[in-house]
Amino acid sequence: PSKIHLKDYKPSSFDVETVDLDIKLFDEHAIVDSTLVMQRQTEGDLVLYGEALELMSIKLNDEPLARNRYTQSEGTLTITDAPENTKLQLQVRIHPHTNTALEGLYIAGSGDDTMFVTQCEPEGFRKIIFYPDRPDVLAVFTTRLEADKRFPTLLSNGNLLEAGEVADVPERHYAIWQDPTNKPSYLFACVIADLDVLTDSYTTSEGRDVLLEVYAKSADIDKCAVGMQALKDSMQWDEVNYGRAYDLDRYMIVAVSQFNMGAMENKGLNIFNTACVLSSPETTTDSRSFSVKSIIAHEYFHNWTGNRITCRDWFQLCLKEGFTVYRDQSFSADQQSSAVQRIDDVATLRAHQFAEDAGPLAHPVRPESFVEINNFYTTTVYEKGAEIVRMIANTLGPDNFRKGTDEYFRRYDGQAVTVEDFLSALSITDSKIEDFIDWYRQPGTPVVSGHQDYDSATQTLTITLSQQTRQVAGFDVPKPLPIPVATALFDKDSGAIVAERMLLLDQATQTFTFENVVSEPVVSLLRDFSAPVQLNYDYQDEDLAFLLKYENNGFNRWQVTQMLVNRILLQGQGAKSSPEVYLQAMAQTLPELAAIDAMLAARLLDIPSAPELASAIHKDYDPELIKAQREGLYQQLAEALKDHWAMLYKQLPMQDYEDSAAARGTRALRNVVLDMALTANIADAAEWAQQQYDNASCMTERFGALKVMVNHQLANADEYLTDFYKRFQHDDLVIDLWFSVQASADMVTPDTIKSLLAHNDFDWNTPNRVRSVISAFTSQPTVLWTQEGLDIYIAVIKKLDDANPVLASRLLQVLARWNTLAEPRRQMAHEQLLELQKQATSKHVIESLNSVLGS
Ligand code: B3K
Ligand code: ZN
């Protein structure tokens, strides 16, 4: 497979004005007709892309096109001498019924719930029809869908023009949709199904009445209200915060159980993984429900950042994703404590993006080359991309950021643009914003190191900061980046803030001076995680304990607990601390905080997961050692606060379900306290767990109890697992939880994983189910990184390589850090990956393997 380079970008030789599609679904195949009205823009061949299509007919300007006037090879159809004005009519046959890759038009569900849906981003449209399938070709689409009446739901983008019966074929019907917006093919969607619908409406700030519809199978329709409310909240939020109103008369969301990722922002017709749209208190945990809302918001926000203004080419993916993630994070921060939102976003960034940037899959936020673009829907593009926008927003301040985004929408609406365009609009009030371009170009996480000097004679404090980024093979020597470091100085005696400033570190080393500082303060840096960097400041443990007590920035209180924990757990990685200071600080802080902010208190008890700790280890990583140290510290923490757990658990009684930030906080903390109490061997705790399960008012309580029963191997854990299964047997998303709680259990064995994969309810064609076992399993590195563990994991990748390469490649990327393992595990993993390399078939898996193996 060949590499595509950003530097080779050329505009399309033809522009498409209109597309008329006609998709007829039959029992074993579908026939797709298209009429493309095109105009020449530049010299060159007319290149259409197509994969797995059977070409039935081709006409150019109403004449059949002779076989010698076009060539078909490796996914393209090329017409060399197409005239200035070209009308191209094509007919192809496709096979959605056997499409397991979940790209293009594919089958989902089963039995009575069988449906057909599309996924076109990034290059799925070419699996439906030959087309200049690239994001900079924008056209108006009219789509006719025809199918058996068994599928009453026929949906496509835009407005419904017409629907009716097919003449002379009483069992078939059709619908015609037209989308008035000029859009790239990756935003095309259609649905052929039998679904129920929840409807609502919203009137935009511009006075447009919008029909809102959430489609799901009938058994799920009662779980659509949370998503509907989130949609309305998002519509309003975007009007208030970005001045962006919705632009069509209809907004549809469709829930589908087989989907490779979370959701897809197709114009006016979002398609969602059921896991990312369905929510009810009885079946959905709080954290899942919260993420449903943020994903609804994310897809909605794409309507402006992604759809109205799209990407010139796929290298610019972060243009829409980074900005849209920043927007959904800001939306979510308005729905709960902004400190907790930041904690969760940063925890994800550190656990996944930092690991990616430190390993063989490191790439710039805007990659410069790829074989398969699907491999670049990464946490670097999404989450690090969002961090760059956040730094820009914080540097500009709210007013100038808003001026910049207004300018962006004004200038580029209806266009396909680049990261440079984005920065140029944002920099209208401050030209230095253009310097952020290097953040998009340079891979690797910068490490910011620093120390302070205090001069009591002159009452000055000098902070020296320096930055360093590792050089990634194939890239230039890293340059210093603009790094905003939000800083506050705390008086050691009173704990009060004596100075607050945003330091801009944009050279290799810099000093920053604070005058009139009457005594040496404790410095709090990178408040709210003002830049996506690793911080090495020469703190004493006592300074961190001090900040845990006095910082009023909730995020930084969490950050210092994590720094303390890392110092303890990563002994031998330059860390040096003993747990006393940490344990004492936690004992002093937690009980009081629990009463004021339960959600934050729950987060402060975080001890990074084993894979997250591993991401900070670059050599001789021993999973057993990390597991033992992690569990040891958890045990010490549970015992250090032993006297508080019983009281705390009683202070957090179960109440009727309520979806408020306070109620979610109570539930989150209660689950942590339950786990702590069991860890500390409190006699009654097993009883609490059972009661919590039996009397649960919602899934957060029930699943929280089940999880601790399984992880602490309580005597009746199996009984409860069985009960859970029976109660929710018919709800796939809950059964996913049932699989994952077992596959991620602390005591999981390869045999457990094997038996889960062999379970009757296991389904290779449902990515959610595959992930509920296989991704859950990666949370136990001591078992994953063994001969047997890897045998299982690699066999899954092999099995999916052909059937669903996007999923297979994603699962493979998780193994990227094999190279940091201590022997003999490293060698073992290496051999398995080499073996896989011999057999891999998809370009997705081949490209990822080459990167992972460094070959
Ligand atoms: N834009 C889609 C992702 C498509 C991924 C294709 N492999 C979802 C999102 O980011 O909103
Ligand atoms: Zn997105």
Q: Which CATH number fits domain 452-531: 2.60.40.1840, 3.40.30.10, 1.10.10.10, 2.170.140.10?
A: 2.60.40.1840
The bound ligand whose nearest atom lies closest to the alpha carbon of 270 is 1
CA max distance for the chain: 97
Pairwise CA distance, residues 841 & 42, whole Å:
36
Distance 306 CA to ligand 1 centre (A): 11
DSSP H or E stretch at residue 348:
helix 338-348
Pairwise CA distance, residues 65 & 75, whole Å:
19
Q: How sure is the predictor about 685, in pLDDT bands with cuts at 50, 70 and 90? A: very high
299 tagged catalytic: yes
Shortest-distance atom of ligand 1 to CA 321: 10
Q: Which two tokens stand for residue 335?
A: 């729905």
Fold match between 4-194 and 452-531? Answer: yes
* 632 in Cβ contact with 610 (< 8 Å): no
Is any atom of ligand 1 closer than 6 Å to the C-beta of 103?
no
The single residue of 299, 356, 387, 701 carrying the catalytic annotation is: 299
505: how many CB neighbours lie within 10 A of its CB? Answer: 23
Residue with tokens 């945990």: 285
Contacting residues for 390 by C-beta, under 8 A, at least 6 apart: 326, 329
Q: What is the mean pLDDT of residues 602-607?
A: 96
This prediction has a pTM of 0.98
Distance 267 CA to ligand 1 centre (A): 13
Please tell me whether the peptide bond between 122 and the residue prior to it is cis, using omega within 30 degrees of 0. Answer: yes
Q: Tell which residue, 5, 598, 39, has the closest CA to residue 336.
A: 598
Report helix angle 286-301 to 661-679, nearest 10. Answer: 140
Mean pLDDT rounded to a whole number for the chain: 97
What residue segments make up the domains of the chain, in order of their start? Answer: 4-194, 310-441, 452-531, 742-855
The bound ligand whose nearest atom lies closest to the alpha carbon of 122 is 1
* 754 in Cβ contact with 296 (< 8 Å): no
Q: What is the mean pLDDT of residues 161-189?
A: 98
Q: How sure is the predictor about 610, in pLDDT bands with cuts at 50, 70 and 90? A: confident
pLDDT at 551 over 90: yes
Shortest-distance atom of ligand 1 to CA 306: 1
Q: Which two tokens stand for residue 174?
A: 């059709």
The single-letter DSSP state of residue 814 is T
Q: Tell which residue, 448, 422, 452, 450, has the closest CA to residue 436.
A: 422
pLDDT of residue 575: 58
pLDDT of residue 573: 59
Domain 310-441 belongs to what architecture?
Answer: Orthogonal Bundle (1.10)
Q: How sure is the predictor about 855, in pLDDT bands with cuts at 50, 70 and 90? A: confident
Please tell me whether the peptide bond between 96 and the residue prior to it is cis, using omega within 30 degrees of 0. Answer: no
Contacting residues for 708 by C-beta, under 8 A, at least 6 apart: 671, 674, 675, 678, 689, 714
The single-letter DSSP state of residue 477 is P
Q: Which CATH number fits domain 4-194: 3.30.1050.10, 2.60.40.1730, 3.40.50.300, 3.30.450.20?
A: 2.60.40.1730
Q: What is the mean pLDDT of residues 500-506?
A: 98
Distance 380 CA to ligand 2 centre (A): 13
What percentage of the chain has pLDDT greater than the value 70? 99
Is any atom of ligand 1 closer than 6 Å to the C-beta of 51?
no
Is any atom of ligand 1 closer than 6 Å to the C-beta of 119?
no
Shortest-distance atom of ligand 1 to CA 260: 7
Residues 699-739 pLDDT 10s: 999 999 999 999 999 999 999 999 999 999 999 999 999 99
pLDDT at 574 over 80: no
pLDDT of residue 572: 61
* 842 in Cβ contact with 802 (< 8 Å): yes
